[in-house]
Amino acid sequence: MLAKSFISGCAGVELSTQEREFFKQHRPFALILFARNIESSEQVQQLTTDFRHLVEREDAPVFIDQEGGRVQRFGPPKWPNFPAAATWGELYQLDREKAKRAAFLHAARIAVELKAMGINGNCIPCLDLPITDADPIIGRRALSAEPKAAAALGAEVMAGCLHMGVYPVMKHLPGHGRALVDSHHQLPVIDASMSQLRARDFIPFMDLSYAPFAMTAHVVLPHVDAELPATFSKKVVQEIIRKEIGFQGLLMSDDLSMNALQGTAQERACGVLAAGVDMVLHCNGDILEMHGVASSCDYLQGESLQRAERAMAALSPESASNYNHELAKEVVSEYNQFMHELGLS
């Protein structure tokens, strides 16, 4: 696999000449899309095709954050409006089996739309466990505030993604639910003891440590590393995420463009890789910052390359690249019937 250790955004609905030259030269591992990149299904399909042609990998991941609720990069009137993840956690309190099926169908139904556009990665499930006085940046994005419920539903979300040929990305390790500020603007400090974190926050990630991909949180755990956020902390990455939580899949940073972090894009990318995170995520599509990130990243090698290859193997080559029309029809039909029965259609 000839790919550099970063995931890049792009600025608009089609690739500029500068972006085309950049992707051809630097060959990022993957692309990530946002609302600014989405106009129509056909347009996005062309965008993803162009990206894969430039990096010369037909199976190159293209990610998006299509969670449901307030985090939807595309929605009505062209596409469905999906419920927030917390909907399934609330249902779980009433009927566990029905909630698990709903979570599976929710992820698979979103994946139907993604696959039609050439997108084969979704940054779900959100396994953070919010507390009552936390900043609302997580809120109803979380499946549940109860560890085992979040884990059970998260497993179904991952299975639903994979069922339709989409890579899931669990987030945000080692937990963002206690954050009292929004890491898009400030750096949260998680002032909880290790015993508290072990008894609650780490549990969903431990139960789903077999996930192919995961994303870090821009938070400080002062009882592990009082100086550096998890994304930059070798102690957090190696001692907590890798050893204690046991995640051995491909670990990507959260977006380097967020204001929780200090330094230039290049310095931030270096900090991510120095901590032992496999993949730098840079989302804002700023071409100058993109060059700074790319200059800090080498081609995947060693353990990071092995993790990338294992993560990619979570899907067969056929399911990663092809759209299964019959399976899509089955998923849409069952999802619609299920939502109608729940009174959510």
The predicted-structure confidence for 133-163, as pLDDT tens digits, reads as follows 878 889 999 999 999 999 999 999 999 999 9
Tell how far CA 202 is from the center of its chain: 17
Terminal CA-to-CA distance of the chain, rounded, Å?
Answer: 43
Rounded to the nearest integer, the mean pLDDT of the chain is 95
Question: Rounded to whole angstroms, how far apart are CA atoms 315 and 340?
Answer: 31
Distance (Å, rounded) from C-alpha 206 to C-alpha 212?
13
Look up residue 257 and give its amino acid.
S
Q: How many residues does the chain have?
A: 345
pLDDT digit string (tens) for 225-280?
Answer: 999 999 999 999 999 999 999 999 999 999 998 877 889 999 999 999 999 999 99
Which residue range is the domain that position 259 belongs to?
4-342
Task: Determine the Cα–Cα distance for residues 101 and 96; give it in Å rounded to an integer.
Answer: 9
What's the CA gap between 186 and 62, in Å, rounded? 28
Closest CA relative to residue 205, chosen from 151, 159, 256, 255: 151
CATH number at residue 26: 3.20.20.300
pTM attached to this predicted model: 0.96
Number of domains in the chain: 1
Does 340 participate in catalysis according to the annotation? no
Q: What is the DSSP string of 103-132?
A: HHHHHHHHHHHHHHTT--EE---B-----T
Q: Which of 53, 184, 223, 291 is catalytic?
A: 184
Q: What is the tens place of the pLDDT at every residue in 260-269?
A: 788 999 999 9
Residue 134: name the closest of 196, 202, 189, 206 by CA: 189
Q: Among candidates 112, 165, 114, which has minimal Cα distance to 322?
A: 165
Quote the tokens at residue 20: 């085309």
Q: Which of 50, 207, 225, 254 is catalytic?
A: 254
Per the annotation, the verdict on 65 as an active-site residue is: no
State which residues of the chain have pLDDT below 50: none
Q: Is the dihedral of CA 301, 305, 307, 308 positive or negative?
A: positive
